[in-house]
Amino acid sequence: MSSPAPSLPLRWHLVRLVAGTLLPVVVFAAIVVFQLARLERRGAERRVLRSARSLATAFEREMSGSIRTLQALAESEHLDHGELEAFHTEGGRVSRTQPSWKQVMLLSTDGRILLNTNHPWGAPLPSLAEQESFARVLETLQPTVGGMTEGRGKQRALAFPIRVPVMRDGELRYVLTAVVTPDSLTDIVANPSNESEEWTRTLVDPRGRVVARTRAPARFVGQPSTPSFHESTRASLEGVYADVSMDGAPVYVAFSRTQPSDWTAAVVSPRRLLDAPVADSMLAVGGLGLALLLASTGGALLFSRRIERSIIQASDAAAALAQGNPPHMEPSGVRELTQLGEALERSGQLLRERERERDANLAAAETARAEAVEATKAKDVFLAMLGHELRNPLAPIVTSMEVLRRRGLAQTPEHEVISRQLQHVVRLVDDLLDMARLARGQLSLHREPLELSSVITRAVEAAAPLIERRRHVLETDVSTSSLPVLGDADRLTQVVANLLTNAAKYTPPGGHLRLQAGEHDGGIGLVVEDDGQGLARELIPRLFEPFIQGPRTLDRSEGGLGLGLALVRSLVEEHGGRVEAHSDGPGHGSRFTVWLPRHTQAEAPRPQEERQAPVPSGAAEVSGKRVRVLVVDDNVDAAEALAELLDMSGYEVAVAHDCPQALHQADTFRPEVALLDIGLPEVDGYGVAERIRERLGGASPVFAALTGFSQDGDRARSQAAGFRHHFVKPIDIEELISFVESLSPARDGAA
């Protein structure tokens, strides 16, 4: 065991500290005479380099303002509808508000100028003068600032373009360009300070042409920079180097390249200003450093005694606090030691207060727990009502879209967009309610032996529209047998479809997706891979939590609530499995692996033919007589749309919106099937069904619930009330027709 270091009084430690701190200063004072000239010149270099950075920043800020204005103009509704003449007027109006803009042009993706605000609409337009920045926009789909070039007009004026892409539905439709003259940069290059080191300020475009200059602009603007300047500024983003100016003077050049425009901002200073010797005026620094060392050492000896006394008092106060006694210190001349004494006194008070707060917090925690239980119950009620209120307006919209489709009026791309977005909203509602059920442990699974390949087939069909719309290539490697699991086919289909949809969303168009399934770790493994945007390492541990998503664009084009992967994990764990995510980082794709236990007695999957196919309109007729269906819904739009769709399918339909109307129709219309909305005003659907049974007895129709409530408890209640089927809004018309037709052999009037 090593011996402890010798103990010294505090005053000697302070003397050693002062001496050790100031000795390097004394040494520095001895050599500063030989170094100060170089250091002063470096300081001047830093100043002119900061000035070059400031010039670059000012230029980029000016360009950013023009880009933002162009981007706002690119959102014009006239471009949405191809109204170029109206956009010509709008572009001219915006151009007049920008003093630096010479004109605004709109270009097609093949480089044709479609309009120019300096030319009347319809007038012949010259060809594109500057091609490089246009090509960059096509390649990167990002705003860019081009180099200076001569115009195609008669004056051959010098100017440079600012270009932004005009995107619609994820595709480049136009390139919007503002043409800026070099004169507009005069105020930017003007020197705002009185720094004597600055001589000339210059802006140079990416091709090395001088665009703005404070000295002799008429002589040099538009001329190429010197080869040495172009070579040095292209080698790095910023720096200072010695050169010869365009007019032959020896100078230092401080430059900074702008980002992302890639222009060069330069500040040129004569060499004589930066190399002037200043060493002689600083010889006194060495003597001052020595005097400071002696004075500081003496001061440390004088004040150390007072500090020692205060530290001893602080030690005694800390010992008293440890024994549970009130600590006390006399005020000290050292502020930190005074604060230490006050802190020790406050610590004693806080210890006593914490004991009281602990007891109060325990009582508050118990109260908060009870409130949380009540809040959870209220949330459950809210989610049930939310699902009902969201499904009610969706029902007539979805049904009306089906009516339009059957009439042949829904073949336009706009109708397809509406149909896809409606399906997306319905999925969001289902995901939100599924997460609520999982959180409450109320999601029931209908497990049965099945082949995982059948689940994968259904999931691929569900995700196919999105995959095709984004032009992805999907590779599958799945055995059609020997993948037995015990599970809920619908929920496992939801798991695989969510993984495929997630991969399709976060993979740029034209990507590659791969789906594999086979034996893995004594069970069955399913892997979904993509070459998309990948995952950040810090996001992966939280990826399967509700409402957690990766970075999104401002327009949130991928959509979703962040529930898909949370549902995947919950449903997989409910089946006794696990799910994992892996990615090599952003831009390197991602891989999701699902493991499920193998079931040795799994039976073959149900054939696809078991799914009910759409019933032709003529199938609704039995022996020449159309089936009578009564639709009862207080939502007039939903009822009328569903009735029209049933009529188009070959049924005879009557509509009612409340209990009295429903009873009247039951007496006069004598329906064979009754679709009742559970949430009717005054008398609900259960009450309506009961009253119809009382009136018609054995001639009562077959009842089916039509409602926005979709929880398991709602289905159980409708079944207990004698309803043969429980349809959740928005209703699947094929499922409804299949249900009605399944009653045909036994349709004898009994409910």
Summarize pLDDT for 645-663 with one digit per residue, the tens.
888 888 999 999 899 998 9
CA atoms of 9 and 6, how far apart (whole Å): 10
Q: Please provide the distance, in angstroms rounded to a whole number, between the alpha carbons at the two ends of the chain.
A: 96
Question: How far apart, in Å, are the Cα atoms of 453 and each of 390, 500, 516, 600, 622?
Answer: 34, 15, 10, 15, 39
CA angle centred on 458, ends 453 and 462, rounded to 5°:
140
- Residues 737 and 71: their CA atoms lie apart, in Å, by 50
Mean pLDDT confidence for 621-639: 78
Q: Which residue has the higher pLDDT, 373 or 600?
A: 600
- State residue 616's pLDDT score: 40
Q: Evaluate the omega torsion of the peptide bond into residue 260 and state whether it is cis, within 30 degrees of 0.
A: yes
Q: Which structure tokens are listed for 307?
A: 């500090």
**Spatial separation of the C-alpha atoms in residues 750 and 672, rounded to whole Å:** 9
Q: Is the pLDDT of residue 557 over 60?
A: no
Same fold for the pair 185-273 and 444-610: no
Q: What does pTM read for this prediction?
A: 0.37
Question: Per residue in 388-443, pLDDT tens?
Answer: 566 667 667 777 766 776 776 666 766 666 766 666 666 666 666 665 555 555 56
* Annotated domain spans of the chain: 185-273, 305-376, 444-610, 617-746
Which CATH class, in words, describes the domain spanning 185-273? Answer: alpha beta
Return the CATH superfamily for domain 617-746.
Response regulator (3.40.50.2300)
Specify the pLDDT at position 439: 57
Q: Say how far residue 190 (Cα) sits from the centre of its chain.
A: 41
Banded model confidence at residue 69, pLDDT cuts 50, 70, 90: very high
Given a cut of 70, is residue 466 above it in pLDDT? yes
In CATH, what number does 444-610 get?
A: 3.30.565.10
**Residue written as token pair 């078991």:** 610
Question: What is the per-residue pLDDT across 707-745, written as a single tens digit (0 to 9) for each?
Answer: 877 666 777 888 888 898 888 877 777 888 888 888 865
* Residue 477 clears pLDDT 80, i.e. is over it: yes
